[in-house]
Amino acid sequence: MTNRQILSLELNELCAPLLDRWMADGSLPNFRRLHGQSHVFETQADTYSPDQLEPWIQWYSIHTGLAFDQHHVFRLTDGRGAEHRDIWQVVGEAGSPVMNFASMNARPFAKPGSLYVGDPWSEQGDAFPPELNIYNRFVGHNVREYSNADNRLSANDYAAFLRFALTHGLSAATAMRITSQLAGEKLGKTGSHARVAILDALQYDVFAHYYRRIRPRFASFFANSVAHLQHSYWRHMDPSAFTVKPEAGETARYGSAIYDGYVAMDAMVGRFLDLAAKHDALIVFQTALSQQPFARYENQGGQHFLRLRDHKAFLAQCGIVCRSADPTMTHQYMLRFNSAADRAAAKARLEAFTLADGYQVFATRDDGDADALYFGCQVSWQIDDDTPMTDTAKGRTLTIGSLLYAMEGVKSGCHSPSGSLWIATGEHVKHGAPVSILDIYPTMLDLMGLPAPEADHRGHSLAALLSTRAAA
């Protein structure tokens, strides 16, 4: 099992009970095929603190082998500036080509013969090779701004992306799916939520195009579509777990959204199985976390999200001076500043917006970083667009809807520390004892025949368990 070429499938937050259910009824034949040839482990996150049980923290722990209390990478986008040695750096320094295709919160690199594509929430136009920036910026914008009808890309942006896709692996099957999806939306037969599966298919096409060319020793592929659907539509899949029930029309429209997401991802897994077989690569499937029903805000009708219509225009109107302003997850934004004074002024300005009862509209988060500030709307209940809001800094009254719009849906799924790890050695063994996500990093190195990590790493390689005799 040493000196293997590894293809790491990072399918964020898929849930083992749902996989088991739909593999058993025949809905997921490719997952079942992968499961049947894998050593199957349940993983546990390296921390159980609710504010640290985030994918951008747990994936960073997986990629570096370091626990959160060692790496302290807390926010999405922080990983790109951290200096811990990760799996791509270690394999690259051993003289081998590597690919990072959208792995979450990872540090960029520009190594000739290798590939880096940033995750959609923190890409900064530094993909490598640089031609991939056309792809990465297009995907990043659509992921971050998918809910914002006021911030669409131009026809020229779509044309540039289409030219790139046609020359970088776009398959006829994916092109047909795109056409069918858009036609279905126009006719009212298909919801826009199904676009996430098309993004996965397109991402596979581009990944496979470069994978065949680069022949990397280690390649990672990250997909978030199912995680997004679970967060949004768990209550439609299982209304019994919630006090706030979806309306009948919503259930009809979204009741199968999560199931459909798993089925679409199963088709992509089948393509990965074929790709790995052609290149004698070992597939390692992992989820980092999983999800469970989220019922914390049922007493107020569930958790809703409000998002700025145009965050750059809003900041300009407020006179906030910052070096950069980027959307991250859902309703949040990351601001970076050239001085502590600019940061302090921005914080005070954002906190000046209140509802009639004095409730602060925008929450800011101070993590001790003099350079950065997270902020987002903290109104988490359903609210009318014409609800008055006061800008106390200027003594003016405006409405919620003049600045913010309500995102579709109510949060329904939240993170669970349990995850899945399947290592496709060719034989099926289900291991009973859970393992730590920190064990993944030394296992990957072991399988590739690379030296064990430094002594400060707490994980232990699972490679010795990857035989029928050892597992038994």
Helices first, then strands: H and E counts in the chain:
17, 20
Q: Please state, in angstroms and rounded to a whole number, the distance separating the CA atoms of residues 114 and 100.
A: 9
- Confidence (pLDDT) at 85: 96
Q: Please state, in angstroms and rounded to a whole number, the distance separating the CA atoms of residues 125 and 324.
A: 13
Asked if residue 133 lies in contact with residue 206, where contact means CB atoms within 8 angstroms, the answer is no
pLDDT tens for each residue of 45-82: 999 998 899 999 999 999 999 999 999 999 888 899 99
Q: Please state, in angstroms and rounded to a whole number, the distance separating the CA atoms of residues 79 and 77.
A: 6
* Helical (H) or strand (E) element with 55: helix 55-64
The correct answer on CATH 3.40.720.10 for the domain covering 5-294+414-471 is yes
pLDDT tens for each residue of 206-249: 999 999 999 999 999 999 999 999 999 999 999 999 999 999 99
- Out of 6-15, 214-223, 404-413, which region has the weakest mean confidence (pLDDT)? 404-413
pLDDT tens for each residue of 303-342: 999 999 999 999 999 999 999 998 887 889 989 999 999 9
Asked if residue 167 lies in contact with residue 135, where contact means CB atoms within 8 angstroms, the answer is no
Q: Please state, in angstroms and rounded to a whole number, the distance separating the CA atoms of residues 224 and 231.
A: 11
Please say if the pLDDT value at position 470 is more than 60.
no
* Helical (H) or strand (E) element with 100: strand 98-101
Please say if the pLDDT value at position 150 is more than 80.
no
**CA 239-233-46 angle, 5° bins:** 105
Residue 396, phi then psi, degrees to nearest 5:
-120, 155
Q: Which of 424, 183, 384 is nearest to 285 (CA)?
A: 424
Tell me the domain boundaries of the chain. Answer: 5-294+414-471, 305-406
Cα distances (angstroms) measured from residue 248 to each of 41, 226, 244 = 38, 23, 12
pTM across the whole model: 0.92
209-240 b/e with 16+ CB inside 10 Å = b? bbbeeeebbbbbbbbbbbbbbbbbbbbbbebe
Q: Which of 102, 63, 69 is nearest to 84 (CA)?
A: 63
What is residue 223's three-state secondary structure? strand
The conformation of residue 378, written as its DSSP 8-state character, comes to -
pLDDT tens for each residue of 85-121: 999 999 999 999 999 999 999 999 999 999 999 999 9
The structure tokens listed for 213 are 């060319």
- Confidence (pLDDT) at 468: 59
For the CA atoms of 130, 372, 103, 73, the dihedral, rounded to the nearest 10 degrees, stands at: 140
Asked if residue 381 lies in contact with residue 369, where contact means CB atoms within 8 angstroms, the answer is no
Q: Give the model's confidence band at 472: pLDDT under 50 very low, under 70 low, under 90 confident, else very high.
A: very low
Q: Please state, in angstroms and rounded to a whole number, the distance separating the CA atoms of residues 324 and 337.
A: 7
Helices (H), 255-399: 257-278, 311-318, 340-350
- Out of 20-29, 76-85, 324-333, 393-402, which region has the weakest mean confidence (pLDDT)? 324-333
Q: Please state, in angstroms and rounded to a whole number, the distance separating the CA atoms of residues 218 and 5.
A: 6
Asked if residue 107 lies in contact with residue 128, where contact means CB atoms within 8 angstroms, the answer is no
Report the pLDDT averaged over residues 289-295: 96
Residues near 314 by beta carbon (within 8 Å), at least 6 away in sequence: 308, 403
**What value does the mean pLDDT of the chain take?**
93
Angle at which helices 257-278 and 29-36 cross, to 10°:
50
For the CA atoms of 468, 469, 470, 472, the dihedral, rounded to the nearest 10 degrees, stands at: 80
Please say if the pLDDT value at position 146 is more than 80.
no
Asked if residue 326 lies in contact with residue 334, where contact means CB atoms within 8 angstroms, the answer is yes
Kindly report the number of other CB atoms within 10 A of residue 180's CB atom: 14
The structure tokens listed for 447 are 């399988």
